[in-house]
């Protein structure tokens, strides 16, 4: 895995800042942030992890999160109702340790924006066979349930790879 040395390095840090990235920052990545904050349990001998999320587009800058993401989170005991959408930027995210893209298009946009490739990962590379987390925006609520399940699994694998 090409991010192996990045992870070896991150495990030695005191704090690690992680940004989950999708296109609009109203469906997938805010859900990822909420799930990560819920699953993460600090350990004395592991870095302290800090999570946020952003979108490659500014289509929804300042908008509230999609009600379907709020609903699937709430069904699983996670409150993301207070989040608002923001756009990723090289300037605002210059101190970030790891960007986790939801799909290959998000990944390519982050690279094109100038983020170093050893700071960008695809969520699907954490135990999901490289699968993309599909954009659920134009689909039904079942798409959000699928996204939730993928995020839960991938994020728990991501957390495990940062904790030992
Ligand atoms: P997200 O979903 O990238 O998971 O937040 C989308 C939300 C809005 C749009 C696209 C994707 N949009 O084109 O407005």
CB of 162 within 8 A of CB of 47? yes
Question: 156 alpha carbon to ligand 1 midpoint, in Å?
Answer: 24
DSSP letter for 84, please: B
pLDDT for residue 163: 87
Q: Which residue stretches of the chain have pLDDT < 50?
A: none
Structure-derived torsion over alpha carbons of residues 49, 160, 110, 12, reported in degrees to the nearest 10: 60
Nearest-atom index, ligand 1, CA of 28: 4
- Confirm if 69 and 31 have CB atoms less than 8 A apart: yes
In this structure, which topology does domain 2-163 adopt according to CATH?
Rossmann fold (3.40.50)
Whether the model pTM is above 0.95: yes
For residue 3, the model assigns a pLDDT of 86
Q: Which of 128, 117, 158 lies closest to 18, judged by CA?
A: 158
**Would you list the domain boundaries of the chain?**
2-163
- CA 24–ligand 1 middle distance (angstroms): 4
Q: Is 93 in the pocket of ligand 1 (CB under 6 A)?
A: no
* Pocket lining: 22 vs ligand 1, CB cutoff 6 Å: yes
- For the record, the structure tokens of 150 come out as 């993928």
Taking only the tens place, the pLDDT of each residue in 49-80 is 999 999 999 999 999 999 999 999 999 999 99
What pLDDT is stored for residue 44 in this prediction? Answer: 86
Tokens 């210059």, located at residue: 94
């Amino acid at each position: 895995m090409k991010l192996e040395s990045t992870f070896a390095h991150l495990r030695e840090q005191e704090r690690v800042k992680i940004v989950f990235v999708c296109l609009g920052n109203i469906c997938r990545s805010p859900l990822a942030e909420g799930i990560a904050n819920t699953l993460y349990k600090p350990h004395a001998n592991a870095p302290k992890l800090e999570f946020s999320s952003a979108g490659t587009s500014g289509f929804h800058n300042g908008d509230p999160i999609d009600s379907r993401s709020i609903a699937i989170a709430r069904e699983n005991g996670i409150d993301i109702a207070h989040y608002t959408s923001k756009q990723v930027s090289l300037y605002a995210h210059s101190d970030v340790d790891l960007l986790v893209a939801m799909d290959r298009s998000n990944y390519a946009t982050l690279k094109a924006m100038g983020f170093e490739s050893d700071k960008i990962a695809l969520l699907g590379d954490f135990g999901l066979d490289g699968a993309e987390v599909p954009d659920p925006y134009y689909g039904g609520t079942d798409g959000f349930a699928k996204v939730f399940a993928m995020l839960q699994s991938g994020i728990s694998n991501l957390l495990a790879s940062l904790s030992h």
